[in-house]
Amino acid sequence: LVVVIDFGAQYAQLIARRVREAGVYSEIMPHSASAERILERKPAAIILSGGPQSVYAENSPHIHPAIFDAGVPVMGICYGFQEMAAAMGGVVAKTGLSEFGRTPVEVDEAGALLEGCTGATVWMSHGDSVTSAPEGFTPLAHTAGAAVAAYENTTKRMAGVQWHPEVLHSDIGQQVIENFLVKIAGCSQDWQASSIVDEAVAAVKKKVGSKKVLCALSGGVDSMVAAAIVQKAIGDQLTCVYVDHGLQRKGESDQVEKDFVEITGAKLVVKDVSDRFLAKLAGVIDPEAKRKAIGNEFIRVFEDTAREIADADGIDFLVQGTLYPDVVESGGGEGAANIKSHHNVGGLPEDMQFQLIEPLRTLFKDEVRAAGMQLGLPEKLVYRHPFPGPGLGIRIIGEVTRERLDILREADFIAREELTKAGLDRSIWQFPVVLLADVRSVGVQGDGRTYGHPIVLRPVTSEDAMTADWGRLPYEVLEKMSTRITNEVREVNRVVVDITSKPPATIEWE
Ligand code: XMP
């Protein structure tokens, strides 16, 4: 285990991912964790993350100095690099030379940390700089704004860099992290996301014993992989529930049956409740009102179903597809994890006391996919694009009706089929297709005038949905989509492409 100490949330997550990519298991702990709590985990190494502050600022976060005396290898990154320098007797100063963004770095002596490297362009973001390395530490590199941009002490097994090796913009990022882990800390690179499956299966077996478990399938990757792990562990003691609200894409419900049930052998209860949902959505146009209507009804159906199954079978556990980014404690403290998982349970009534099983709570999304492949789930299921809980309901701009859902489902199916045919499923991160149901425009088809609806194609690229860029689909692919949609979906006579990034737009239209 490599512990990444979090001095400022987004950096720590990226570092933990890179360490795992290097084949070493890694978890994040907040900087406020006591030295005992950190060392209790018996880390093979500790990495101090970057963070927004100056080490000399009042209230800036610090780690207990005992961490540096424990004989555990430590790497400092950016803020962590300065924190280590200051703690070990080096000098950190406000030089007035800030560096932000791509910065050329000159390597003076490669050492173990920068082995094989003579110079590179790296991602910097700092105000203060280390002007003098601590005694016994060899300065390895400098930049225009940082006299000491990297150092190491191989006897103490400590090292650090001023730049951010965890971001993809840094040339030698992954190499530096691996050099630290392997050459300085002596970690072995034998962890892989798929090995988590066996551990998770064993853990679920032990926790559940002969009791009964319920899992809500959303059709998304996370809930299916979580369910597949639990199924592998306890077989028929698991019941999966799929709420078919009628807002799914074409083929979705079948896919759950075919690609999930047939492969895992899981017991599945499908609740066809599209009438209930459409009734709740009648006359609703406001996006927030739609989301509320769908969300509330979903909870109600799930509640009813859970109660039915619980009455019949006695359910003790509920499976959640919670991922690591949802449970990581950031600087804030211990509360975060709980608030989120309660929220995920989706407002089950208080008199239903379930314990949670969260087999994916140590994994990142890409690792969940690796686990899914390991479990034998089909690639097209494992690499599905994210799909919002409210489904096509928030991709119809205007009132949601059965007829409009059918139009959108058809157009969406064609667009996705062409995307897959073009081999672009993985380079496009998500691909909403939107029906502007209250907009009509004039067209001509055959010899006649048409007055139909526009369909919006919204391909985006992204890493985490927080920001996104519009996806540059090749013209030939767009042409096929447009021709097929207008030919095959009678009500649509115009196809447009959304070329807005997020921000200022969001990925979805509602
Ligand atoms: P926006 O539109 O906010 O979407 O840029 C960001 C990501 O979140 C998804 N999304 C949702 N997922 N329930 C979900 O499970 C929702 O209510 C919901 N709304 C948006 C969206 O598809 C995108 O991936």
Cα 248 to ligand 1 centroid, rounded to whole Å? 15
**In this predicted structure, what is the pLDDT of residue 395?**
98
List strand residue ranges (DSSP E) for 22-85, in order. Answer: 26-30, 45-48, 74-77
In this structure, what CATH number is given to the domain that contains residue 119?
3.40.50.880
Pull the structure tokens for residue 113: 């940390």
Residue 508 lies in a domain: no
**Most informative mutation of 462, 470, 508 for ligand 1 (most atoms within 8 A of CB):** 508
CA of 136 to the centre of ligand 1 (A): 51
Cα-based distances in Å from 391 to 157, 167, 291: 51, 33, 10
Q: Per-residue pLDDT for the chain (510 aa), expressed as one digit of tens each?
A: 999 999 876 788 889 999 999 999 999 999 989 999 999 999 999 999 998 777 888 888 899 999 999 999 999 999 999 999 999 999 999 888 888 888 999 999 999 999 988 888 998 888 889 999 999 999 999 999 999 999 999 999 999 999 999 987 778 889 999 999 999 999 999 998 878 899 899 999 999 999 999 998 988 899 999 999 999 999 999 999 999 999 999 988 888 888 899 999 999 999 999 999 999 999 999 999 999 999 889 888 888 888 898 888 788 999 988 888 777 754 444 333 333 333 344 455 666 678 889 999 888 888 999 999 999 999 989 999 999 989 999 999 999 999 999 999 999 999 999 999 999 999 999 999 999 999 999 999 888 999 999 999 999 999 778 889 999 999 999 999 999 999 999 999 999 999 999 989 999 999
Coil, helix or strand at residue 202 = helix
Do 478 and 375 sit in the same domain of this protein? no
Whether residue 505 lies inside any domain: the answer is: no
State if residue 389 touches ligand 1 by the CB under 6 angstroms criterion: yes
Angle between helices 365-374 and 195-208 (to 10 degrees): 80
- pLDDT score, position 175: 93
Q: Residue 389: inside a domain, yes or no?
A: no
Contact 266, 234 (CB under 8 A): no
- C-alpha–C-alpha distance, residues 51 and 58, integer Å: 14
Phi, psi of 88 (to 5 degrees): -95, 5
370 and 458 both lie in a single domain: no
| Domain identity same for 162 and 285 | no
Last residue of a domain, one of 382, 416, 431: 382
Q: Look at the chain and report how many structural domains it folds into.
A: 3
Examine the domain organization and report whether 369 and 412 are in the same domain: no
- Clarify whether residues 18 and 163 are in a common domain: yes
Q: What is the DSSP letter of 444?
A: E
274-281 vs 287-313: helix axis angle to the nearest 10?
150
Structural domain contains residue 189: no
Sign of CA dihedral 166, 172, 178, 182: negative
The phi and psi torsions of 225 (rounded to 5 degrees) equal -65, -40
**Which of 330, 348, 382 represents a domain boundary (last residue)?**
382
Rounded-to-integer distance, Cα 240 and Cα 283, Å = 32
* Residue 444 counted as domain residue: yes
Same domain for 300 and 418? no
Closest atom of ligand 1 relative to the 509 alpha carbon: 2
Choosing from 120, 153, 184, the residue where a domain stops is 184
Which residue do the tokens 């860029």 mark? 469
Q: Whose CA is nearest to atom 21 of ligand 1?
A: 388
CA 468 to centroid of ligand 1, rounded, Å: 12
Domain containing residue 479: CATH number: 3.30.300.10
Measured distance CA(317)–CA(356) in Å, rounded: 6
List 290's β-bridge partners, or say none: none
Q: Return the pLDDT at 109.
A: 95
Q: Is the domain of 364 the same as that of 430?
A: no
Task: Specify the amino acid at residue 73.
Answer: P
Residue whose tokens read 């899992």 = 215
Contact 388 CB / ligand 1 (< 6 Å):
yes
The finding on whether 223 has its CB within 6 A of some atom of ligand 1 is no
Q: Does residue 142 share a domain with residue 24?
A: yes
Q: CB under 8 Å to 226, separation ≥6 — which residues?
A: 215, 319, 320, 321, 357, 358, 359, 360
Q: Is the residue at 507 inside a domain? A: no
Same domain, 151 and 16: yes
Q: Is residue 509 part of a domain?
A: no
Amino acid in position 289: A
For residue 258, what are the contacts with CB-CB under 8 A and spacing of at least 6?
none
Q: Counting every residue, how long is the chain?
A: 510
Residue 259 makes CB contacts below 8 A (sequence gap 6+) with 377, 378, 380, 381
Q: What is the pTM of this model?
A: 0.81
Residue 224 annotated in ligand binding: yes
Write down the residue that tokens 């939107």 correspond to. Answer: 434
Matching residue, tokens 């191989």: 154
- Does the CB atom of residue 292 touch ligand 1 within 6 A? no
Q: Could you give the CA distance from residue 294 to residue 104 in angstroms, rounded to a whole number? A: 51
Range of the domain at 208: 195-382
DSSP-derived letter for residue 430 is B
* φ/ψ of residue 495, rounded to 5: -125, 130
14 contacts 125 by C-beta, under 8 angstroms: no
Tally of CB atoms within 10 A around 364: 19
- Judgement on whether residues 162 and 298 belong to the same structural domain of the protein: no
156 with 177, same domain?
A: yes
How would you list the strands of the sheet with 267-272, edge to edge? 267-272, 238-244, 213-217, 317-319, 355-357
Q: Tell me: is residue 220 an annotated ligand-binding position.
A: yes
Note the pLDDT of residue 118.
86
Q: What is the rounded CA–CA span in Å between residue 157 and residue 127? A: 27
For residue 509, the one-letter residue type is W
CATH (domain of 245):
3.40.50.620
56 with 93: CB under 8 angstroms? no
Residue 125 within a domain:
yes
Which of 1, 30, 31, 4 is closest to 15 using CA atoms?
A: 4
Which among 242, 211, 235 is positioned nearest to 314, based on CA atoms?
211
pLDDT for res 339: 35
Residues annotated as part of the active site: 78, 164, 166
- Residue 414 CA, ligand 1 centroid: distance in Å: 22
- Ligand 1, atom 19, lies closest to the CA of 388
Q: Are 163 and 103 in contact (CB under 8 A)?
A: yes
Same domain, 252 and 173: no
276 in contact with ligand 1, CB cutoff 6 A = no
For ligand 1, the distance from its centroid to the CA atom of residue 23, given in whole angstroms, is 31
